[in-house]
Amino acid sequence: MSSSPSDWEVVIGLEVHVQLHTRAKAFASSPWGFGKEPNEQVDPVVLGLPGTLPVVNREAVEKSILFGLVVGSSVPEQCAWDRKNYFYPDNPKNYQLTQKDFPVVVGGQVEIELPGASRNVMGEHKFIRIHHAHLEEDVGKLSHAGSGSLVDYNRAGVPLLEIVTEPDLRSAAEAEAFLRSLVALLTQAGVADCDMEKGQLRCDCNVSIRRRGAEKLGTRTETKNLNSISSVRDTVIYETARQIRELEAGRSITQETRGWNAELSRGYVLRDKEDAHDYRYFPDPDLPTLRISRETVARLQKLVPENLYDRQRRYVEKFGLPFTAASVLVVNRELAEWFEAAAAAHPTNPQGIANWVTNDLLRDLAASGGAGAPLTDEVLPAVSLASCPIKPVQLAGLVKLTDDGVISKQQAKEVFAEMFKTGQEALAIVDAKGLRQNSDTGELEKIVQEVIADPAVAKSIAEYRAGNEKAINALKGPIMKRTQGKANPVLIDQLLRKFLG
């Protein structure tokens, strides 16, 4: 008897390796960054020369603690480093400095949002628990050349935060949502840049399945070194299907380490449990235990930005934004803060401002070359506001002019385009272009009276007075014409009704 896939539940845990945003390496003063010639970012400590010693980078520790605070973990009083011993040509000391027993982050949770039924509908929210996160060092890079391999140690020693979840994820969609949420948290707090193109975020993915309703976890496999969110999603889908197939065929799951071939969308076995490494962990004698002061924690707590979903809820509840707009704004902290600055400058119409930001501003930023390179194509809207020509207060000014009836919505589009080009204030553009609606009642009254007196419109006046509301519009055209389109349509309407009374 065969069962349907829905009889099975998949259980996923992730280990996410994130390169922290620092200038120097984790345990050495060597700089690091993308795009340098091989082995140009290597000092004696990174190369593991005899006699060299590690010293922990304060910024790497503080970025790690900041992450802990972002996910609501309790920051431990102390943390310490251990050695993980294994031989590999990309591992300069043949041991990696990591944290086994006393990690810098313990506990915490990440809120995720699953896709809704449509773009306009918010999906389900869940909390994924963080088991711990530890601060360790990255290894160098191997490339293959002919019959040999080449080693570049530029990446060796780069600070890595390994974030380990509880096995709380239940689908590929949840794994994907978790990673999107995690990337947003990390980038918004300035902990990491998470540029997957540059390998700044890599994942190990643990997958097991069990009969729905069963408590006992199934045997899990670990797929290593996934370097994009889509690879994680595809791995989960692949591994789930494979494990169901195995179990339904009466075979068992082997606890094994696997790799993922993204080109072929296929997993493969790296090694089974029998070959498991004996890492011979022990406390690193070169790095004393670090006491984390409560002052530091308090100082870092102030740097924790508002959680993106708290922000999203606030935008919907306090600003009355539709979910679609709110969800676009909150993913990028810079964008959200830009929006809030504009909304603060013109508090009566946040929806109007959100509309401008999510439609016109994002469109023009994306279209203009100066919009900045995509941070990560998979996660964030491809914008950077660093070079945005419009200031939040300027957009607020534009929306206010429209709301006050000084310019029409149509004119506002023209003003926005000019503002994006020149960075001028809305009012200055309106004046320079002579776009200001005429709201001088005295002058307008005279014109309205002149038009009403024109026999050419007598028929329309009669129809209006007979009860045909729409007939009044026939009088507006000539008025607009005589004011060269500058008259405030609202005012014209009021005056006409007054005189035709």
Partner 1 sequence: MDEPLHTLSAAELGRRLAAGPLTSRALCEALIVRYHAVNKKVGAFTHLDEGDVLAQADASDVRRKAGQGRGPLEGVPVAIKDNIAVKGQPLTCSSQMLASLVSPYDAHVSDRLRAAGAILYGRLNMDEFAMGSSTENSAIQKTFNPWDLACIPGGSSGGSAAALAAGLVPLALGSDTGGSIRQPASHCGVVGLKPTYGLISRFGLVAFASSLDQIGPMARSVEDCELLLCALASADARDMTCFAAADRALTPAGDAKKLRIGIPKGFLGKGVGVEVAAAVTAAIEFYRSQGCAISEVELPSADLAVPTYYVVATAEASSNLGRYDGVRYGHRSATAGTPVEMMTTSRSEGFGAEVKRRILLGTFVLSAGYADAYYMRALRARSKIRAEYLAALATVDVLLTPTVPTPAFKVGEKAADPLQLYLEDIFTIPANLAGLPAISLPCGKSGHLPVGFHLVGAPLSEAKLLAAGRLFEAAHGFAHQQAAL
Partner 2 sequence: MAEGFDIDHLAKLARLNLTAEEKVLYSSQLNQILGHFQALAKADLPATIDLARVVSESALRSDEPGPVLGAETVTRLAPASRDGQISVPRVVDDEA
In degrees and rounded to multiples of 5, residue 280 shows phi and psi of 45, 55
- Of 359, 350, 426, 347, whose CA–CA distance to 391 is shortest? 426
Residue whose CB is less far from partner 1, 149 or 348: 149
Burial classification of residue 16, based on how many CB atoms lie within 10 Å of its CB (0-12 exposed, 13-18 middle, 19 or more buried): buried
Using an 8 Å Cβ cutoff, are 157 and 46 in contact? yes
> What backbone torsions phi and psi does residue 140 show, to the nearest 5 degrees?
-75, -175
Question: What DSSP designation does 344 have?
Answer: H
Find, among 89, 97, 91, 238, the residue nearest to 162 by Cα: 97
Q: How far is the CB of 82 from partner 2 (least distance, A)?
A: 12
Supply the minimum distance, in Å, between the C-beta of residue 260 and partner 1.
Answer: 23
Answer yes or no: are the C-beta atoms of 8 and 244 closer than 8 Å: yes
Give the one entry of partner 2, partner 1, none that residue 282 binds, where binding means its C-beta sits below a cut-off of 5 to 8 angstroms depending on kind.
partner 1
Give the shortest CB-139-to-partner 1 separation in angstroms: 12
Amino acid at 39: N
* Residue in the block written with tokens 């010639």: 37
Straight-line distance from the first to the last Cα atom of the chain, in angstroms, rounded to the nearest whole number: 83
Q: Which does 356 bind (CB under 5 to 8 A by kind): partner 2, partner 1, none?
A: none
**Distance of closest approach, residue 314 Cβ to partner 1, in angstroms:** 44
Among 3, 74, 78, 348, binds partner 2 (CB under 8 A): 78
Q: CA 206, CA 215: separation in Å to the nearest integer?
A: 17
Taking the C-alpha atoms of residue 22 and residue 190, their distance in angstroms, rounded to an integer, is: 10
Q: Does 276 bind partner 2 (CB under 8 A)?
A: no
Query: Is 273 an interacting residue with respect to partner 2 (CB under 8 A)?
Result: no
By CB under 8 A, which span of 10-18, 272-280, 460-468, 472-480 interacts with partner 2? 272-280
If one counts every other C-beta atom within 10 angstroms of the C-beta of residue 331, the result is 20
For residue 84, give the H/E element and its range: strand 82-85
b/e burial code for range 372-385 (CB count within 10 A of at least 16 → b): bebbbebbbbebbb
Among 199, 259, 478, 485, binds partner 2 (CB under 8 A): 259
> Which among partner 1, partner 2, none contacts residue 144 (Cβ within 5 to 8 A by kind)?
partner 2
175 to 214, contacts with partner 2 by CB under 8 A? none
d(CA 94, CA 447) in angstroms, rounded, equals 89
- Which contacts (CB < 8 Å, 24+ apart) does range 376-379 have? 376/183, 376/194, 376/195, 376/196, 376/197, 377/197, 378/180, 378/196, 378/228, 378/229, 378/230, 379/179, 379/180, 379/183, 379/184, 379/194, 379/229, 379/331
Report the site for partner 2 in 125-164 (rule: CB under 8 A). 142-145, 147-153
Pairing of strands 221-226, 256-261: parallel
Stretch near partner 2 under the rule CB under 8 A, chosen from 20-28, 186-194, 349-357, 413-421:
20-28
Nearest distance from residue 291's CB to partner 1, in Å? 13
Q: Which partner from the list partner 2, partner 1, none does 186 bind, CB cut-off 5 to 8 Å by kind?
A: none
Beta pairing partners, 79: 290
Smallest separation (angstroms) from partner 2 to the CB of 33: 9
Burial (CB count within 10 angstroms: exposed 0-12, middle 13-18, buried 19+), residue 216: exposed
Kindly tell me which of 3 and 78 has the beta carbon lying closer to partner 2.
78
Token pair 């809030």 in the structure block, residue:
340
Minimum CB distance to partner 1, residue 140 (Å): 10
Q: Which does 22 bind (CB under 5 to 8 A by kind): partner 2, partner 1, none?
A: partner 2
Q: Please pick, from the candidates 29, 74, 387, 473, the single residue that binds partner 2 as defined by CB under 8 A.
A: 29
* Residue 291 or 498 having the CB closest to partner 2: 291
């091989």: which residue's tokens? 38
Residue closer to partner 2, measured from CB, 22 or 332:
22
> Using an 8 Å Cβ cutoff, are 387 and 372 in contact?
yes
Which residues are at the interface with partner 1 (CB under 8 A)?
44, 47-56, 83, 85, 87-89, 92-95, 149, 151, 153, 278, 280-282, 285-288
Shortest separation between residue 286's beta carbon and partner 1, angstroms: 5
Site for partner 2 in 40-59 (CB under 8 A): 40-44, 47, 49, 55-59
CA distances, 207 to each of 115, 201, 226 (Å):
22, 19, 13
**Shortest Å, Cβ 279 to partner 1:** 9
Which of partner 2, partner 1, none does 35 bind, CB closer than 5 to 8 A by kind? Answer: none
Partner that binds at residue 270, options partner 1, partner 2, none, CB closer than 5 to 8 Å by kind: partner 2
Contact stretch for partner 2 (CB under 8 A) within 17-25, 168-176, 415-423, 490-498:
17-25
State the residues that interact with partner 2 by CB under 8 A: 22-24, 28-31, 37-44, 47, 49, 55-61, 78, 80, 86-89, 142-145, 147-153, 257, 259, 270-271, 277-278, 280, 283, 288-293, 296
